[in-house]
Amino acid sequence: MGTLPPPPPGEPAAPLTPDELRELYSLMVTVRHLDTSAVAWQRQGIIPGYAPELGQEAAQVGSGYAVDLSRDFVFPTYREMGVARAMGVDMVSYMATHKATWHGGLYNPLESRLAPIQAVVAGSVLHAVGWAHGQTLDHKDGVALSYFGDGASSQGDVHEAMNFAAVLKAPVVFFVQNNGWAISVPTERQVAGGSVAARADGYGIPASQVDGNDVVAVVDATRKALANCRAGNGPVLIEAMTYRRGPHSTSDDPGRYRSLQEEHDDAGQDPLERFRQVLLTRGIAGEAFFATALAKAKAEEEMVRSGLQALQPRPGSEMFDLVFQETTPALQAQAANWREESEHV
């Protein structure tokens, strides 16, 4: 497969500082606790559904941390809570989508630089290319960062998006989290050759595989890809090799298609524990730091839970308010029928 060129002059990939490394760990432990808590919240009836990311914290936090919030724009799927948290998105506003109180989340996409959560598999990939092409037309240097999984890579939209991006030299980074599973189907049974990155060659797109459980490697790869796009070289694809340690969603039972022993053997070392050992070995952090990071993560988890429980249902009439900029007779008729049936007016 192709390899990434070095960052352009003036934008070197500077090594992460000790403060940045500690910040990355704090983000990862916060994401871990929010993620496992969200599964519990679903079981408790606080939210109706959730797509866990256990084991993918390094891939998500590392890539989200590399984003330039002043000019880039991120297009997530339904499993990028870690990306959102690394970008500083308010977690109560983000999780409002999972509570189904608001169809696009309560956060402001323009301010946060995070597009609304996309539940359609590969649905936001073409959106990312369109936004990126707009940056080119406007002579701006923003880069789109589009997420999808190894399963979604088999969708036609992904291939159309990569072709359009390559032809237009659109500044977009295709970030693939290969977590080993397309719901219940292992990667080797639905990705010919076993590598999503290898497909990029067919479109003339440089691509790389990165250890998705190494948060530092992910930050570095993402920064290089963003710099490559910003230099006018067109799109880049990154395949972060990781592992989904839990179910595809809270309605999934992974025990139907893999055993606990298989999960243990295939998952490898926990990315959070792995990074903890790196910081300890290098003398960058000690037990006091880890204890503080854990305490802050638990406090944030409680704050988000309380905020979610305080959210009230949105009025049903809103479903008709934000469909079109200018309403249509058909939509007005539907709204009238809804009011008559549900509000008896």
* Of 103, 257, 314, 339, catalytic: 257
What per-residue confidence (pLDDT) applies to 119?
87
Name which of 140, 105, 34, 4 is nearest 322 in CA terms.
105
Beta strands in 117-235 (DSSP E): 144-149, 172-178, 181-182, 185-186, 207-211
User: CB-side exposure of 27: number of CA atoms within 13 Å?
Assistant: 28
> In degrees rounded to 5, what are phi and psi of residue 13?
-85, 90
pLDDT in tens, 69-109: 999 999 999 999 999 999 999 999 999 988 877 666 789 99
Query: Is 344 designated active site?
Result: no
Q: Is the pTM of this model over 0.85?
A: yes
CA–CA dist 198, 208 (Å, integer): 8
Provide the pLDDT for residue 312.
84
At 129-186, the pLDDT tens digits run 999 999 999 999 999 999 999 988 989 999 999 999 999 999 999 999 999 889 899 8
The mean predicted confidence, pLDDT, of the chain is 92
Confidence at residue 317, expressed as pLDDT on a 0 to 100 scale: 81
The reply to whether 248 belongs to the active site is yes
Which of the residues 33, 98, 244, 305 is marked catalytic? 244
CA 304 vs CA 47, 85, 181, 308: distances in Å: 12, 12, 29, 6
Q: Following DSSP, what letter does each residue of 216-255 receive, concatenated?
A: HHHHHHHHHHHHHHHTT---EEEEEE----S-SSTT--GG
pLDDT in tens, 1-38: 555 554 444 455 679 999 999 999 999 999 999 999 99
Using DSSP, state whether 343 is helix, strand or coil.
helix
Q: Which residue has the higher pLDDT, 206 or 322?
A: 206
Of 32, 98, 248, 305, the active-site residue reads 248
- Is residue 229 a contact partner of residue 143, using CB atoms and an 8 Å limit? yes
Q: Which residues pair with 145 in a beta bridge?
A: 74, 173
Burial label for 328, CB within 10 Å (0-12, 13-18, 19+), is exposed
pLDDT of residue 11: 52
Report the alpha-carbon distance of residue 73 to residue 114 in Å, rounded.
Answer: 6
Q: What is the pLDDT of residues 282-311, one digit of tens each?
A: 999 999 999 999 999 999 999 999 999 998
244 is known as an active-site residue: yes
| Residues whose CB falls within 8 Å of the CB of residue 329, separated by 6 or more in sequence, listed in order | none
Pair of tokens at residue 42: 């679903």
pLDDT score for 103 = 61
CATH code 3.40.50.970 for 18-313? yes
Please give the single-letter amino acid code of residue 223: R
Q: Where in the chain is the domain with CATH 3.40.50.970?
A: 18-313
> How far, in Å, are 2, 18, 45, 228, 246 from residue 218 at the CA level?
17, 17, 35, 15, 21
Q: What is the pLDDT of residue 3?
A: 57
Query: How far is Cα 340 from Cα 342, in angstroms, rounded to an integer?
Result: 6
- Predicted pLDDT of residue 336: 92
For 21-158, strand residue ranges (E) read: 73-75, 144-149
Give the SS3 label for residue 16. coil
How confident is the model at residue 172, as a pLDDT? 98
- Percentage of residues in the chain with pLDDT exceeding 70? 95
